[in-house]
Amino acid sequence: MTHLTHNPDLTSSVIYGLGWVYLLMFLMNAYWTRRSYALDGNCRLSLGGILGKGEQIPVAAFWAVYAGMLLMIAITHLTGWKNPQQFSLQMPEFLKEPINRASNPVAFFIGSTTIYVLMIVLRKWWTTPTAGWILLNLSILFLALSVTDYDFRQIVGKPDNVPIVAMLYIVGFFTWLYFKKSVDNDERKAAGRPLFEQENNEKVLTWPDLVYSELICMVLVTAVLIAWGIVLQAPLEEPASAAKTPNPSKAPWYFLGLQEMLVYFDPWMAGVVLPSVILVGLMAVPYIDFNKAGNGYYTFNERKFAVSTFLFGFLPLWVAMIVLGTFLRGPNWNFFSPYEFWDVHKLELLNNINLSELFWIKGLGRPLPVVPPGATFAQQAPIILLREWLGLVGVAFYLVVLPNIMAATVFKKFYVKMGFLRYMVLANLMLMMMSLPIKMVLRWAVNLKYIVAIPEWFFNI
Amino acid sequence: MEEKKTSTADILAKIRAQKAAAAAAPETPVSPPETPAPVAAPESAPIAAAAPAPAAAPGPKPTSTKDIMAAIRGGGAKPAAAPVASTPAAVTAASTAPAGTPAPSTAAAAGPKLSPQEMLQKMREAKAAGGPAAAPVAAVAKTTAPVAAPPMPAKPVAAGKAKPAAVRRGMASFATVACISAICFVLGYLFGNSLLIAVGALAWGALLSPFMAAWAALASVGGIGTLGIARFMFPNVLVEPPSKFKVGPLSDYPLNTVSNKWKDQFGIWVVHTDQYEGRNMIFALASVCTHLGCTPNWLDGEQKFKCPCHGSGFYMTGINFEGPAPRPLERMGLRIAEDGMLEVNKSVKFQEEMGQWTDTTSYVEVV
């Protein structure tokens, strides 16, 4: 396949640039080796019995070996960049193939949700500095290796997509920081020690401490923006035309989560109702929250519900959707795996059906109740309601009955503490949030388009 | 002696220490010295103390920033920032000075150094005193310590009695303004002078308080601006392609093809197919996705319309089958004109879900 493509995977400039990346990684890991030598202890290495009982060697030795390898790779890149045809350090096919085969929206969503769960369950482990460092190294290595693939580079290297890569690292870092600080505080609480924030009271004056920091930040941000504006040109396209929509047509990156949501919902729902619910819901959080703990310090154990709920809405349902929309949605809004060519003619069978069709045609083997042409509203209504009764009942159950069931079972404590009104707001916000993954799963599992489909009244759920 | 970098906590601690010293030194002057007020002590104390004011107020433990600020002001009036730098001795001297002699403190309070906060507090106290419950207390306080009450606008007390007068005055001014306005309107109408009419309208503003008048002005300007913007919705000249246009003879469109020819100019596809209800017909489809209004593309290889925005797909007939589009593409009016050409009428549309595709003006049957 690679011989047929017009565009080679590797070009001189890519190899040269990667050389600098690896050199930077070498420097980072050289520093880390030094740090590890000072802080980490020794470990026993026996190499499966080759060294007999084993020998005590510093952990830093592994980092030293790793850093040395990075240096050699960097040198290879920086000296051999002139001949890309001969260059063989690139993403191996045996890694690309399984990733390509495994990637589809279902796997992506399950994967991101799994990472979210692991993140919370393993928070004690992955917030250690060494684990964080390993994760950072792995992510950079993955990115650097993947850039040697032409299709990957075309998408990730696009000027509009560069900030999204940066955003992913920033989101990752701050999530890591939050969990690190809260794990620390939770351990302090458990051991009866004072909280970190109490022990290290870092109160400083607005002037000069804060104002100086702000000034420095301002200067730095300005410098970065100027450099960015010069290095990465604005991705301008042809003049806009009402008759021609670019393919794929993508919203600004911060709205790609919404655009992905629109694939599963009616525009009225995903474009107006749900975004409003998100905004109003976030505003309502202070009034819903009855948990006084966690005020002024980091904690997870004392705010498990609040943090998990927010992170679920933010990471798998917002950030991951942005990633999906940016990197994995190609022409005709089809799903493309990271190393796949964006083929305009890729065929994906998505014959979607409504719940009413599922019920009447597949379930009962009868045609849908049809509204006679030219019927008045009064004649229409009973037929349409009969056609869609299952979906309407389902939605009513979901939004009206389910909160009550939850109040009697899983959210019993919440209900008692919050009172009826506050609890209902919370329950409905939760259910609205969960409606997105539910709808996605239904779409993938049974090709369900709408639970309630009344195009006559522009009402689809 | 070099001082270390002082943090907020340090400063607060220092101030607290100074305050504690100031409070501990002279005990008695804090309470009103010669108030004969025999009334309930907890009530009379703050009222009488209103003038000696913040200096006298400090309780044993200042907790809030407000207390601390009050302490500083009461202590040295101006040198609010000084205590931080000056030696503790000097500060205690400064703060004890007014406490030792009650007269200066009242003088200071009555002087122009009052902060708005203090004035507010005093006003509130005066109000409380004027309330029905504490009426005698107020009387006592007024008679015994006339200095205590700085010349405050005595509105709250007088308000109750003055009401009828105010209403009467209001009626009078209302009548005046109504007369002026009416005269302006009549004259303006008679002489065709719009300026006079405007004056007549604006005269009503005199009834309002400045605050209300400002808001009324803002609202009226905003309202006029909105109307002006709304005017843009009805342009004098509308430059749009004609809604009726000819698209050539029937023979231009072979069976089971979709013509992209008019998409750029008019936003329609002309479709000739026998796949809809098995009838051989030509119709015009609007190139607007029924999901969110993007322009789909006709993919000849796949024989479908596909929207690049969210992946909605439609058959050649216009029926939606994949992606989120909730309903089929819309048909435009089509007929064979007198000269035998096909004529599209974009001013009408036909929606399948409304049962409008059975309308004979939505297609042309080929025989």
Per-residue model confidence as pLDDT tens digits over B289-338 = 999 888 999 998 889 999 988 889 999 999 998 888 989 999 999 999 99
Per-residue pLDDT, A49: 67
A401 in contact with B, Cβ within 8 Å: no
Q: Is the pLDDT of residue B22 over 90?
A: no
What's the whole-number mean pLDDT along residues A289-294? Answer: 88
**B13 contact residues in A (CB cutoff 8 A):** none
> Best-predicted range by mean pLDDT among A255-259, B42-46, B68-72?
A255-259
Give the minimum alpha-carbon distance from A251 to chain B in angstroms, rounded to a whole number: 9
Give the minimum alpha-carbon distance from A200 to chain B in angstroms, rounded to a whole number: 13
Half-sphere exposure (Cβ direction) of B194: Cα atoms closer than 13 Å: 0
Kindly state the percentage of chain B with pLDDT values over 90: 22
| Residues near B362 by beta carbon (within 8 Å), at least 6 away in sequence | B283, B331, B332, B333, B334, B350, B356
pTM summary value: 0.69
Q: Is the pLDDT of residue B208 over 90?
A: no
Spatial separation of the C-alpha atoms in residues B109 and B148, rounded to whole Å: 9
Q: Is the pLDDT of residue A245 over 90?
A: no
Give the residue carrying structure tokens 């964006």: A342
Contact state of A374 with B291 under an 8 Å Cβ cutoff: no
Per-residue pLDDT, B50: 42
CB B342 within 8 A of CB B350: no
**A248 contact residues in B (CB cutoff 8 A):** 308-309
**A203 contact residues in B (CB cutoff 8 A):** 7-9
The average confidence (pLDDT) of chain B is 72
A8 in contact with B, Cβ within 8 Å: no
Per-residue pLDDT, B172: 81
Contact state of A333 with B294 under an 8 Å Cβ cutoff: no
Residue from A201, A268, A321, A333 whose CB has the most chain B CBs within 10 Å, to mutate = A333
Per-residue pLDDT, A242: 75
CB B175 within 8 A of CB B190: no
The average confidence (pLDDT) of chain A is 89
Contact state of A351 with B322 under an 8 Å Cβ cutoff: yes
Identify the residue with better confidence: A11 or A168: A168
Spatial separation of the C-alpha atoms in residues A291 and A284, rounded to whole Å: 14
In the structure, what pLDDT confidence band is assigned to residue B268 with cuts at 50, 70 and 90?
A: very high
Contact state of A247 with B297 under an 8 Å Cβ cutoff: yes
DSSP calls for A402-457: HHHHHHHTTTHHHHHHH-HHHHHHHHHHHHHHHHHHHHHHHHHHH-B--SSEEGGG
Angle between helices A420-446 and A304-314 (to 10 degrees): 40
Q: Which of A187, A434, A376, A261 is nearest to B309 (CA)?
A: A261
CB A299 within 8 A of CB A447: no
Q: Which residue of A has its CA nearest to B267?
A: A243
Give the residue carrying structure tokens 């913040």: B54
- Amino acid letter, A124: K
A350 in contact with B, Cβ within 8 Å: yes
Per-residue pLDDT, A144: 92
Per-residue pLDDT, A160: 83
Contact state of A455 with B8 under an 8 Å Cβ cutoff: no
Kindly state the percentage of chain B with pLDDT values over 70: 62
Q: Which residue of B has its CA nearest to A349?
A: B322
- Alpha-helical runs (H) found in A232-323: 256-262, 267-268, 274-288, 304-314, 320-323
Per-residue pLDDT, A128: 93
Q: Which of B236, B287, B294 is nearest to B266 (CA)?
A: B287
In the structure, what pLDDT confidence band is assigned to residue A378 with cuts at 50, 70 and 90?
A: confident
A246 in contact with B, Cβ within 8 Å: yes
Peptide bond into A248 cis (omega under 30): yes
Find the range with the poorest average confidence among A232-236, A256-260, B275-279, B350-354.
A232-236
Q: Is the pLDDT of residue A305 over 60?
A: yes
Residue A156's alpha-carbon distances to A152, A159, B189, B214, in angstroms, are 6, 8, 71, 55
Identify the residue with better confidence: A230 or B205: A230
pLDDT tens, position by position, B129-141: 654 444 444 444 4
Per-residue pLDDT, A363: 87
Q: Is the pLDDT of residue A46 over 50?
A: yes
Which of 116-175 (A) contact B at CB < 8 A?
none
Q: What are the tokens at A101?
A: 């085969």
pLDDT tens, position by position, B70-80: 766 665 444 44
Contact state of A333 with B265 under an 8 Å Cβ cutoff: no
Spatial separation of the C-alpha atoms in residues A414 and A406, rounded to whole Å: 10
DSSP calls for A26-72: HHHHHHHHHHHHHHS-EEEE-GGGTTTT-EEEETHHHHHHHHHHHHH
Identify the residue with better confidence: B355 or A373: B355
Per-residue pLDDT, B38: 44
Nearest to B306 among A204, A246, A332 (CB): A332
Give the minimum alpha-carbon distance from B328 to chain A in angstroms, rounded to a whole number: 10
Q: What are the tokens at B337?
A: 């004109």
| Residues near B28 by beta carbon (within 8 Å), at least 6 away in sequence | none
Burial B187-214 (b: 16+ CB within 10 A, else e): ebeeeeeeebbebbeebeeeeeeeeeee
Contact state of B308 with A265 under an 8 Å Cβ cutoff: no
- Max distance between CA atoms of chain A, in angstroms, equals 91
**A450 contact residues in B (CB cutoff 8 A):** 326
Q: Is the pLDDT of residue B30 over 60?
A: no
Q: Which residue of A has its CA nearest to B325?
A: A266
Q: Which residue of B has its CA nearest to A325?
A: B310
Kindly state the percentage of chain A with pLDDT values over 90: 51
Q: Which residue of B has its CA nearest to A444?
A: B323
- What are the backbone angles phi and psi of residue A311, rounded to the nearest 5°? -65, -30
Spatial separation of the C-alpha atoms in residues A399 and B276, rounded to whole Å: 39
What pairs with residue A196 in β-bridges? none
What's the whole-number mean pLDDT along residues A195-207? Answer: 86
Per-residue pLDDT, B99: 42
Spatial separation of the C-alpha atoms in residues B134 and A457, rounded to whole Å: 66
In the structure, what pLDDT confidence band is assigned to residue B25 with cuts at 50, 70 and 90?
A: low
> Best-predicted range by mean pLDDT among A11-15, A190-194, B100-104, B233-237?
A190-194
In the structure, what pLDDT confidence band is assigned to residue A425 with cuts at 50, 70 and 90?
A: very high
Q: Which residue of A has its CA nearest to B300?
A: A345
What's the whole-number mean pLDDT along residues A410-438? Answer: 92
Length of chain A: 461
What is the predicted ipTM? 0.80
What's the whole-number mean pLDDT along residues A320-325? Answer: 92
- Amino acid letter, B16: R
Spatial separation of the C-alpha atoms in residues A434 and A422, rounded to whole Å: 18
Q: Which residue of B has its CA nearest to A449?
A: B324
Chain B residues with CB under 8 Å of a chain A CB are 7-9, 263-265, 267, 287, 291-292, 294-297, 299, 301-302, 306-311, 313, 321-324, 326-327, 353-356, 358
Give the minimum alpha-carbon distance from B286 to chain A in angstroms, rounded to a whole number: 11
Q: Is the pLDDT of residue B102 over 70?
A: no
Spatial separation of the C-alpha atoms in residues A401 and A423, rounded to whole Å: 13
Coil vs helix vs strand at A326: helix
Residue from A332, A447, A448 whose CB has the most chain B CBs within 10 Å, to mutate = A332
Contact state of A262 with B323 under an 8 Å Cβ cutoff: no
Contact state of A205 with B7 under an 8 Å Cβ cutoff: yes
Q: Which of A230, A90, A89, A253 is nearest to A163 (CA)?
A: A253
Contact state of B307 with A332 under an 8 Å Cβ cutoff: yes
Classify residue B306 as left (phi > 0), alpha (psi -120 to 50) or beta.
Answer: beta
What's the whole-number mean pLDDT along residues A339-359? Answer: 84
Residue from A204, A245, A346, A357 whose CB has the most chain B CBs within 10 Å, to mutate = A245
Return the CATH number of the domain spanning residue range B244-365. 2.102.10.10
Spatial separation of the C-alpha atoms in residues A429 and B85, rounded to whole Å: 54
Contacts across the A-B interface (CB distance below 8 Å): 100
Q: What are the tokens at A285?
A: 């959080």
pLDDT tens, position by position, B250-264: 898 999 999 999 998
Identify the residue with better confidence: A254 or A20: A20
| Residues near A320 by beta carbon (within 8 Å), at least 6 away in sequence | A108, A109, A112
Give the minimum alpha-carbon distance from A369 to chain B in angstroms, rounded to a whole number: 13
Q: Which of A347, A364, A346, A345 is nearest to A355 (CA)?
A: A364
Identify the residue with better confidence: B163 or A120: A120
CB B84 within 8 A of CB B9: no
User: Would you say the C-alpha torsion B205, B209, B211, B212 has a positive or negative sign?
Assistant: negative
Burial A402-425 (b: 16+ CB within 10 A, else e): ebeebbeeebeebbeebeeebbbb
Q: For B4-42, what is the HEC assignment?
A: CCCCHHHHHHHHHHHHHHHHHCCCHHHCCCCCCCCCCHH
- Amino acid letter, A62: F
In the structure, what pLDDT confidence band is assigned to residue B284 with cuts at 50, 70 and 90?
A: very high
The structural domains of chain B, with segments of one domain joined by +, span: 8-155, 187-218, 244-365
CB B120 within 8 A of CB B97: no
Give the minimum alpha-carbon distance from A238 to chain B in angstroms, rounded to a whole number: 15
